[in-house]
Amino acid sequence: MKVAVVTAFPPSKVTLNEYGYHLVKNFVQNDEVSELILMSDKTNEPKQLDFDQKEKIKVKECWEFNSYTTFFSIIKAARQEKPDVILFNLQFVKFGDKKIPSALGLLLPMFLRLFGFKTVVLLHNILEQVDLEKAGFTESKIMQAIYNFIGTNITRCLLKANKVAVTIHKYVDILNAKYKTKNVILIPHGTFETVKEPNFELKSGPKQIMAFGKFGTYKKVEILIEAIEIVRKTNSDELEVVIAGTDSPNTPGYLDGVQKKYKDVKGIVFTGYVEENDVERIFTDSTIVVFPYTSTTGSSGVLHQAGSYGKAVIMPDLGDLALLVKDEGYKGEFFNPESAQSLATAIDKILSNDAYRKEIAKANFEAASALSMDKIITMYMNCFKSIKK
């Protein structure tokens, strides 16, 4: 089968580039894929094709973030390559944070199907489950209503693809009920890398409490720093806060502001953007992975990564994180996202009971191992083969 994947791809920094990397890596290692057309965004540096069977890949750099020509250039590339199926790795701001380029990009699955291609959409989030204010889009109730109107109609267009895959079971129910459709399927997020035997023992040196992601909207690190300061009053361990990642595109300058605000607090490490080949070290070195979220916007890649490296996690009991715990078997210590004291209590509970930390870590590794990326790719291949013209 000749498969095309429309996605951002490292060294691109566009959203979902990491997921695109692991999709492509595992597709080419599937025996049923004879060729993979990587329809990626344009980058100055070569694509990060550092895995086996990369000779199956043909790179077509055919779009740019916020470009008004993306719609036409992707259609042109599809007509040139004539893949058997096209998979879109999407969320609502995939093609741009400007309204027109973003919307045009999201119309592609529908139009390419009209042109005779088999199209499958992997939709990482749905507007019905996004708090637009907390996610940093708008505080205006009028604008939220406009966004919801536009989002509903774009979702209708996305559902014109042959199949729409979502990563959480509840999303299937919501979309099928609201849009009266029958082509939405569940294909879980999956785990990027499965370490054969993670070391569940503590490493030497400071205990690292790590948060990973793009910060500033619904991911706020102040509560984590303040919680560690509370824990330090009663816990004699040497603790280090590791903030791994960058600002959210909606909140530029956020982490610089945090650094200035807490410049007198010892033991805070800001890593900046974490390259794909450095992700394993960041997770392996951490003692606990914390999710300082006030909302969620889709299945958590960070939780799946934490599980694959055998890490204990602390998270708020809300939204999609709670659904993943229920649906996929992840475990963690929960806290109130409005209370630094609640987070401090959760951190101290794990730090002071190493058997409990290992129990959570092992449960998360088992949950991650059950949905490794090769199994997810098999689900996609079965989905592709089920599509009739």
Same domain, 250 and 378: no
305 pLDDT tier (thresholds 50, 70, 90): confident
Look at residue 194 and tell me if it is in a domain.
Answer: no
133 pLDDT tier (thresholds 50, 70, 90): low
Same domain, 156 and 169: yes
Same domain, 132 and 212: no
Instruction: Note down the domain range covering 224.
Output: 207-370
Averaged pLDDT, 324-340? 86
Look at residue 114 and tell me if it is in a domain.
Answer: yes
Q: How far apart are CA 183 and CA 112, in angstroms?
A: 17
CATH code, 321: 3.40.50.2000
Averaged pLDDT, 106-131? 89
Q: How far apart are CA 306 and CA 289, in angstroms?
A: 7
Averaged pLDDT, 343-352? 96
**Does residue 230 surpass a pLDDT of 70?**
yes
Q: How far apart are CA 67 and CA 101, in angstroms?
A: 6
67 pLDDT tier (thresholds 50, 70, 90): very high
Averaged pLDDT, 285-291? 95
Residue of 321 and 234 predicted with greater confidence = 234
Look at residue 130 and tell me if it is in a domain.
Answer: yes
Same domain, 293 and 241: yes
Q: What is the pLDDT of residue 286?
A: 96
Same domain, 63 and 165: yes
Tally of domains within the chain: 2
326 pLDDT tier (thresholds 50, 70, 90): confident
Q: What is the pLDDT of residue 313?
A: 95
**Does residue 389 surpass a pLDDT of 70?**
no
Same domain, 10 and 62: yes
43 pLDDT tier (thresholds 50, 70, 90): very high
Same domain, 106 and 212: no
Same domain, 164 and 252: no
CA atoms within 13 A on the CB side of 107: 14
Q: Check: CB of residue 316 under 8 Å from CB of residue 335.
A: yes
Look at residue 112 and tell me if it is in a domain.
Answer: yes
Handedness of CA 138, 140, 142, 145 (dihedral sign): positive
Look at residue 198 and tell me if it is in a domain.
Answer: no
DSSP 129: G
Is 374 in a helix, a strand, or coil? helix
129 pLDDT tier (thresholds 50, 70, 90): low
Same domain, 332 and 382: no
Look at residue 199 and tell me if it is in a domain.
Answer: no
Same domain, 147 and 265: no
Same domain, 162 and 277: no
Q: Are strands 119-123 and 85-90 parallel, antiparallel or unpaired?
A: parallel
Give the H or E element holding residue 186: strand 184-186
Q: What is the pLDDT of residue 369?
A: 85
Report pLDDT digits (tens) over 160-202: 999 999 988 888 998 999 999 999 999 988 887 666 778 899 8
Q: Are strands 57-63 and 35-41 parallel, antiparallel or unpaired?
A: parallel
Look at residue 197 and tell me if it is in a domain.
Answer: no
Same domain, 129 and 250: no
Q: What is the DSSP string of 321-367?
A: HHHHHHHH----EEE-TT-HHHHHHHHHHHHT-HHHHHHHHHHHHHH
- As a whole number, the mean pLDDT across the chain is 89
Look at residue 195 and tell me if it is in a domain.
Answer: no
Averaged pLDDT, 113-139? 77
Q: What is the pLDDT of residue 82?
A: 97
